[in-house]
Chain A
């Protein structure tokens, strides 16, 4: 299975601190995506990184991809209470990002 596995399963930090979540996968991928889900809501796309890219930024988010280690990390800098959510990585083995396989997610709690 190419399913991504997030680590840690749960993370609790203080507002202003950085949060780092990791994703590992088993097979070669075309792209990897990160999504955020607030409790009881739908998922929101954050960043898509392709297999030939090593790092992408979007605002306070930084995603890295190491295809040799089959792993990715999501860094949220200067976290806010509003960042409290579950974060999922999704891996696509072809160019259809919509057919990605999702991991179990990391639950992030940011305390004010």
Chain B
């Protein structure tokens, strides 16, 4: 138990569906992240939120829409996805320091997404 909970753990959706992934962290951290892990590829950073504000969007297609209503919750809204979007989507959080840096990442167990 890392203190970061992701739901659902598994999701199968068609290309015309709309679904959402949810992440909740119980660690009191002030930054949250979405990462994508595809087979045969390194982990890719998608979005970064710091104190609820999006601070990074790594050229992610608009069919992925993040939402961060507060420092503890992060969503990834999915619509009109492609089969190549099938991957493990990992949420993580970290704690900022007084010097402005952030410490190591605490990951959730991931949401395994399959797009048919």
A residues near B, CB below 8 A?
3, 30, 33, 35, 40-45, 48, 88, 90, 94-105
What distance in Å separates the Cβ of B95 from its nearest Cβ neighbour in chain A? 9
Q: Note all chain A residues with C-beta closer than 8 A to B79.
A: none
Decide: A99 and B108 in contact? CB cutoff 8 A. no
Decide: B105 and A43 in contact? CB cutoff 8 A. yes
List residues of B (58-116) whose CB comes within 8 Å of A's CBs.
88, 90, 92, 94, 97, 99-110, 112
Decide: B92 and A98 in contact? CB cutoff 8 A. yes
Give the residue of B2, B90, B105, B108 whose beta carbon is less than 8 angstroms from that of A98: B105
Q: How many residues of B contact A (CB 8 A)?
A: 29
Output the nearest chain A residue to B101 by Cβ-Cβ distance. Answer: A95
Give 6 nearest A-B pairs by CB, closest first. A95-B101, A42-B107, A102-B43, A98-B94, A45-B104, A96-B102
Task: Give 19 CB contacts A-B under 8 Å.
Answer: A3-B42, A40-B88, A41-B110, A42-B4, A42-B90, A42-B109, A45-B105, A45-B106, A96-B31, A97-B102, A98-B33, A98-B92, A98-B94, A98-B102, A98-B103, A100-B45, A101-B45, A102-B43, A103-B42
Give the residue of B41, B102, B107 whose beta carbon is less than 8 angstroms from that of A44: B107
Give the residue of B45, B90, B106 whose beta carbon is less than 8 angstroms from that of A99: B45
Q: Note all chain B residues with C-beta closer than 8 A to A3.
A: 42
